[in-house]
Structure 1
Amino acid sequence: MKKIHITGLGLLGGSFALAAKQKFHELEISGWDINEQNLQDAHILGMIDKTQEFPEKDTDLVILATPADTLTDLVSTMLDKAGDGTLVIDLGSTKGSICSALSAHPKRKQYLAGHPIAGTEYSGPRAAFPELLNRKVMILCEMEKTDLHLKEKAYELFDALNLKLRFMEPEEHDKQLAFVSHLSHISSFMLGKTVLQKMEDDKNIFDMAGSGFASTVRLAKSSPAMWAPIFSENRMNILEALDGYIENLQKFRSKISENESDEMKKEMAEINSIRDILDLQS
């Protein structure tokens, strides 16, 4: 591994850069970000060695970590400019539309659709840290369409960063992420909004907030610039998830309204089984 180029030097792209530099000491990383401050911070923090919008022809890997609605055009442009030995990887949170759009690209074999299940509620290069990716799941889609020898370059990086690989079809990926990731962000944003609206009447409401509220609303601090495009790109799956969520909320509201204490206890006890599922995943 000699050269990597990263476009999008925020939390994810920056963490990839920092982690890769720890593992490959002779590695040269070029980078680009539309935000000039991010570029300056990336230099100061040692993420990139030089600034350039497009990679050199002998670059091994191009990693794209920009908002979901920019990735299709960006991957296509990078493939057009890539050398024959360059693999282009996107890290977007939606995979269906981009895989479909790039299916007929003449350099499709030089593209790998990826999504690391890693992140925090913070954004920008100053939020990045090399341990972000350690032992996290990296989902890869349509592996059979990527050149075998180029995939070896990706495997070398993923193995060095201790990523756990999972393989999914793009449509399956988008449907499952709508429920376990995208819906939770919407819930957090809307809980935050509800409490902010209440604060207009009661300025001291946050004095009552404990750790439960803080953990539940944590994701409401996430970047709107990243999440609004995700909600748009995966809207049909998210709408399905929201419909089920809203229905469950309405049913539970009815139990509260009718003071059905035993029914509430029973339902919550059944939901407690998620604890065992999550414990197995940790």
Structure 2
Amino acid sequence: MKPRSSLQIQKSVIFALVLREARARIGGSRLGAVWVLLEPLVHLLLFSVLFAMLRGRTVSGIEYPVFILIGMAPFLLYRNTSLRLMDSLRENRSLFGYKQIKPLDTYIARVIVETCISATVYAILVFGFAWFGFDMSIHNPLEWVATLLLGLSFAFSLGMLLALITHALPSLKIIIRMAFFPLYFMSGVLIPASYLPQPMMPVLLLNPFLHILELIRAEVLPHYTPVDGVSENYVLIFTLVLLFLSLGAYRARRMHLISTKNG
């Protein structure tokens, strides 16, 4: 039998982990598979009705359901990716007895699964919106894809760091999960960033999610203008620093991650 290279072994490991993660994510029960689609639908319907009652059907000249979908889908992807990576060490503990499987492999597998699920759900929703007559065209598709990938890189770096932090301090998990709730509102998922309190804008602009969602909307919607201070360079630098810290901490603690029962 021809020996395989390290790269071939890692590809096989990640492929097997992707199948395992996909089955655990949506194949464990019918409710799990249904909730993957229902979650964004519930968000869309609930906030569309509330916004229509308070301000009308449009925001910045855009139908509100379209506006919220463009920002909500990426945010849910990034949130789910970060939190799923945070839980990866605990949920895959039994696999680390195999020397071919490393914690980093489980991180990569979870990112792939979350991305595929989100892309499928988004495609279904876009098709449904287009069926009902909404304009779902993308103004700058290449820039849109690049920004989505930048946001995914940020979520990967954040999730990896959260996994390392909660491995050392498991009690922080509930606090981190709760922190994503205010981020949902502070990142401009539901309203344009220009509608947020302007005196607080210097503080709000420290949040990379706000920059990412504003950039995504500007690339999808031809007449949308991001709030002053939004910068792709800020997100890029923030992501690179976070990735450097995460990978450095992972390398320093990689043996400890698989030899203890925390996480």
Which has more strand, going by share of residues?
A: 1
Whose RCO is larger (CA < 8 A, sep 6+)? 2
Common fold, TM-score beyond 0.5?
no
Which has more helix, going by share of residues?
A: 2
| CA radius of gyration, larger in | 1
Q: Normalization by structure 1: what TM-score? A: 0.29
